[in-house]
Amino acid sequence: MIHRGVHADTSPRRRAFSLVESLAVIVVLAIAIPPAVSMMVDGARTQADSVALTRATWYATSLLECVMADVNSDAPGLGFDALADADAYQTTPTTGFDDRNGVVIGHYAKYGLSHDLVIGELSNAAGVVTGDSDQDVFRTVTAQVTWTNRLGQSRTLSIGCLATDLGA
């Protein structure tokens, strides 16, 4: 037996966006995108500043490790006594700190970091100059690393340590 009747339309119907729906999407996107982009830019800036601070920390630590190796070296021109003339220790051509550590300094310079070593006077273990030669057997050595952050502001990180002659 053959049934004749109305067949239901089973094909999916395509429906277009109305003008009102399209405008609503544009308004929502116009409101949501600028704050989202701003948050991404702020996040990228914060991350870049964190990376720069981490590099500065590594750099300062590397510099201090080199100084401590020099203080404990028995090579000519090195040892604790070399710190008595901070300028000669750092800048003497070929044998000075800056020339001997040029690879490390150059590596960080390409990231916009520069350094300064500050070598203090003989002091006691608290870093205080007492004038007593039995107590004043230390020198404070501070590595100061400077860079410019993403906002164009100069930043400086200082890390210090006490050095002494362990053989004394």
Q: Is residue 6 part of a domain?
A: no
Around 68, how many Cα atoms within 13 Å sit in the side-chain half-sphere? 13
pLDDT beneath 70: ranges in the chain: 1-14, 41-47, 167-168
Q: Is residue 126 part of a domain?
A: yes
Q: What is the pTM of this model?
A: 0.71
Q: Is residue 44 part of a domain?
A: yes
Tell me the per-residue pLDDT of 89-130, one tens digit each, with 9 for 90 and over.
Answer: 999 998 899 999 999 999 999 999 999 999 999 999 888 999
Q: Is residue 4 part of a domain?
A: no
How far apart are alpha carbons 119 and 102 in whole angstroms?
Answer: 19
Q: What is the pLDDT of residue 139?
A: 94
Q: What is the pLDDT of residue 8?
A: 57
Q: Is residue 11 part of a domain?
A: no
Number of domains in the chain: 1
Q: Is residue 69 part of a domain?
A: yes
Q: What is the pLDDT of residue 9?
A: 58
Helix (H, G, I), strand (E, B) or coil at 71: helix
In terms of phi and psi (left: phi > 0; alpha: psi -120 to 50; beta: otherwise), the region of 70 is alpha
Q: Is residue 12 part of a domain?
A: no
State the residue for tokens 């948050």: 39
How far apart are alpha carbons 112 and 114 in whole angstroms?
Answer: 7
CB count within 10 Å of CB 157 equals 18
